[in-house]
Chain A
Amino acid sequence: MAHEQDFSREQPGAYPYTRGIYPEMYRKKLWTMRQYAGTGTPKETNRRLKRLLSQGQTGLSVAFDLPTQLGIDPDDERAAGEVGTCGVSVPALPQLDQTLHGIPLAEISLSMTVNATAPAIFAMTASLAGRLGIAPHLLRGTIQNDMLKEFSARNLYIFPPEPSVRMAADLMEFCIRHYPRWHPVSVSGYHLREAGADAGQEIGFAIANGIAYLELLLQRNIHVDEVAPGMSFFFSAGSGVLAEAAKFRAARRLWAKLVRERFKAKNPESMKMKFHAQTAGSELTSVQPEHNIVRVTLQALAAVLGGAQSLHTNAKDEVLRLPTASSALLALRTQQIIAAESGIADLVDPLGGAYEIEALTDRLEDEARKWIQAVDAHGGALKAVEIGFVQKKIRESAYKDYEAIQTGKRNIVGVNRWETSRPIPVPTSGNTSAKRMKHQASMAEAIQRQRSSRSEEDAARAILRLLRDADQRMNIMPAMLEAVNTGCTIGEIYGALEGLFGKYDEEVTPSHEYESQSFDREGRVGWT
């Protein structure tokens, strides 16, 4: 496809922002160093967050455990072994208060990786900020709140796609109207890539999801220039340094063009794609974790060369478990060394103009556009995940990637190239199952104590109001605020909503390249 872009006319900080969204980029302000952290009890996580700040981290990113992300309380038997395991347990307002205690919320931007339960977690955050006297227009941060990619890749959903996405839009609308500095969505290509998508699919499907959110908000009579400036993106940074840097450039250019041409935005802020990058976890290996340090360095370099606004660098042992304190520090230091010692931060789009980079940028833009057109042809992103189109394409790519590793087309040192027979042992995290069970017991006890000390009448009234508003397709956020303020727990809130919307189960169709074959609901392969 012919490209009308002429590199010599593209400038950093100017439409279509291929070369970066600011004219000076990191010369004026470094990217935000934002390590994803959260484990165990709220108090433990609070200590970890404060330690990261004391080590020079400039933004916070909170990881929530699976029960919190799936609307399950710590005393529910489905939460066994999962409380505080993959993140912090926040079943209700007091736990969020403990997690963020003493952290200056008006000064530091907070990022929260939560989606299905994002409306409840944001309601708790807003309520906490109010109690601390922070005016709504001063609260800064990001909540992931990207339900579409949960169905296509990340799989932490509760309800079917339509009500899930509708409630995500409720939260976006609420933030746009009342919390203008809060990014109410982080449209995530990262998880698509981790699930197997290739680079073109990562940015193409993510932007298609971004388009779907824009359209939902426009239907609510919000102008594109009110929605788009608050939207942020989240991408993966892989070890293929140059191709990945080109991918970020392509994503920026494509988003800018779509927002201007398709949505007729007028405000340049709407066209600037701001994104967070995380180094690619799926490219790390568990055989020789020490060697992941080198991979993470290359991946972080890709993000910086590609103009990321914030960055999480994975710890070398993250492929095995939550990182130890020393490996977490090493991960942060990796990006600090790039920032302070490599000299790259003094340059703006240092790769721009190189023939290969520009050609790769054009190619990835074309590929991503093709995937957006495919999603459009299926009726948009919501329909495309409802019928499993995106899931299928990602699974096909995952299988291709597996074959590429098998045949040696893609190399992983220590795995299929210069493979090792002797794995390098790593020290254990000390987060034993006995310790975790103790956490779970204390968290379960705390939530039961909280339930018994609130007004049952107020809590019940709040839940009824929430159900009524959800049922009548009103914005659920005011009722959600009332629910968390009256002491309702995440399990009660989402349990009640599940009664209304029903539960969503993964369509068991891992059919990959087998077009003619199907899997039935029980996973039986339909071949004879």
Chain B
Amino acid sequence: MSTKVKVLIAKVGLDGHNRGAVLLTTALRKEGFETFYSGLRRSPEEIAGMAVLHQVDCVGLSSLCGAHSVWFPKVTAALQTLSWQGQLVIAGGIIPVEDELELRKVGISAIFRPHHPIADIADYIRNHVKTATFPPARKIM
């Protein structure tokens, strides 16, 4: 059985920008991960299904068209619905700083922007994949 950390790089929503996602899929593989790429315009349910099917440890969501606030929470909800056993959800693309807080609330631990060194993203995944806790702890009212 493979001991490699498994990562799914996924595109949700209508966005067609895939240069970064495809690049990351390959570069992370070179960094020693087992990587999967979802293909474009997947629904949240399709992405969650892939994450469960391939038993990935980390899901990386990519968006460069501004619809992240709508789609990313739907993906994290779908991951919970399907009881995904992974721990870490990260995101990347063109995501304004002011949107970070709400994305963190739904369980996205880190947001990376264009030109962020991939070696650094790889380190982040390695360091957090065992300690991160997805889904985020729910407040008891």
Q: Which residues of A contact B (CB under 8 A)?
A: 66-67, 70, 72, 78-82, 85-86, 154-156, 194-196, 282, 285-287, 319-322, 395, 398-399, 402, 405-406, 412, 415, 425, 428-429, 431, 433, 436, 505-506, 508, 510-512, 514, 519, 522-525
Contacts and interface: CB of A to CB of B under 8 A. Distances in A.
A402 B96 contact: no
A398 B23 contact: yes
B14 A398 contact: no
Interface string B83-103: 000000000001011110000
Contacts of B97: 425
B138 interface: no
B35 A525 contact: yes
B80 interface: no
Contacts of A195: 18-19
B5 interface: no
B26 interface: yes
Given A81-B70, A286-B114, A428-B96, A194 B15 contact: no
7 contacts: A66-B15, A81-B13, A82-B70, A320-B96, A425-B97, A433-B69, A506-B18
Contacts of A433: 69-70, 99
Nearest to B10: A523
Interface string B25-51: 111010000111111100000000010
A86 B22 CA distance: 22
Nearest to B27: A402
A78 B54 CA distance: 25
Contacts of B29: 525
B122 to A, nearest CB: 12
Contact of A82 (B13, B38, B99): B13
B130 interface: no
Interface residues of B, number: 41
Contacts of B15: 66
Interface in B47-62: 50, 53-54
Contacts of B82: none
B37 A510 contact: yes
A155 B114 contact: no
A336 to B, nearest CB: 27
Nearest to B50: A522
Contacts of B37: 508, 510, 519, 523
Nearest to B25: A510
B14 A70 contact: yes
Nearest to B94: A320
Given A398-B23, A523-B36, A525-B35, 8 more contacts: A66-B14, A66-B16, A67-B14, A286-B114, A406-B119, A505-B39, A519-B37, A525-B29
A79 B18 CA distance: 19
Contacts of A319: 94, 114
